Chains A and B, each alone.
Chain A
């Protein structure tokens, strides 16, 4: 389909980007465009202004901090995550999951920031970032703040980065003794997730985060064995959506299975 009329600006600094976002009601950031352009084509949403972040090179970096944390610039693309030596050495689950997103063309454009801020419940990275305990850095008119991933996702398509604000990086702590895993059932190979689970296992405890079953990722903790994990999922009394890819009961059941498999995958390495 075709977009409504829109204003376009391509700032050359983060400050200018934030200013544009704050000063224009109905302004949205444009990162990779793999979600927002589609949404605008369907006219499901029609921002008045798109603030193109393409020239903000400082948001594109992938680095390891002095403390060993993985700092992912919000504009790092999935392809960049996959080929990054820093990601591979510090927290490879990020690359492993990014490699499952859609296809090469989407991965060449889609960004960490886009995946996280659009917060479609079927997106891959939100459950992963919650599981590993990442932190999101947000810049607004009032300056910079950090929000833990657990508190970042507020609702369908809604995050703590509000109007006039910009997510600038996602900081992933070093794995240390923890190991990560991910499991999903998808619509076709590398397709949209029907149910997903990210798991981070430390010692004999598991942090499990379910995607696709609620408006935001669902965080659970359990002992890192299959039965305990499944029981924790049952205990969460999930109320997942029913749609053409399965009734609620199917997602509820799948959630148990992928949670246990994510934990098992964590046990096998990473």
Chain B
């Protein structure tokens, strides 16, 4: 684990340097329980709308203050759905924004917290703007789709730390008491030394919106963001990041390299963009421990969504412990999608910021490293992944024509 200790020391030095530069920024503390915390929602799809509701449910002091989405229909649908929040719903017409700059308007609307739930391609941009403006953040996973995005998120997270702003990520297993209980015991050595890890997200396909007449390429891609790597990172990033994050959590660090294979074998219609439908990846951590990861989105195939951690003295599914000191969670397992907002709001009220920015950026990059390896057919190191200059974002963002990228071909697609 010495490498990982070195890494954290480097991180600490970097954070301290930024903190020194920003010492003048006053800390942001809510005094008393009466203060109202104004929340802005950026990205009004099903998950964003759900996250807003989870936030309201989490703490009686929050109100939904402003909302934004690139699409007016998504904005309005979400507003209709959230009106049931009653007097906690404070979104007036002049604080409901659509269009490409809607996020800027939400951030400038007087909110204290923003919920970032657009497709992940935009997360680095939105996080940067939110942190620059001094807002606390809840952001959904994954937090970027390429290395430049990851580096931006890491930088914003460090600035957030210096400004004493909280960032909570939508890797909700980190807020699930069964996972937390198991992980505490793994870290205590109850299963001995971790010697191998297995991570799975195998399932059928996901939703797809058939292309409508009049949609530009950009609109079609945005409304089917899962199927374009620039928007989602491919499903190894979009979905499997949860399981990879659990393994990184157990290992208290990220893998140092990945060898992955994958392809687009069944879900080949152009309606599904250009992403793969399966990946299998071997990750290796700094101490030589390996993680086997697989993820698949193919209908009619066996499903499995889980993590399995093998120790020298026992095993864990990351929610319970099978060992001499066995453990399983008992009691009311609160909804982790609400609990993550409870932790966020409590951290704001108490002035004790939580910052999950780097942690989720590392887990997202773990996934991206796997994708890079699968797309190219090459072994990819953490440094290669982190320092990659390949930006997947289109040069300009607007409702214009936008070609579907070619499907990656291992052995031919270059590693950039």
Q: Do A and B come from one complex?
A: no
CB within 8 Å of A: which residues of B? none
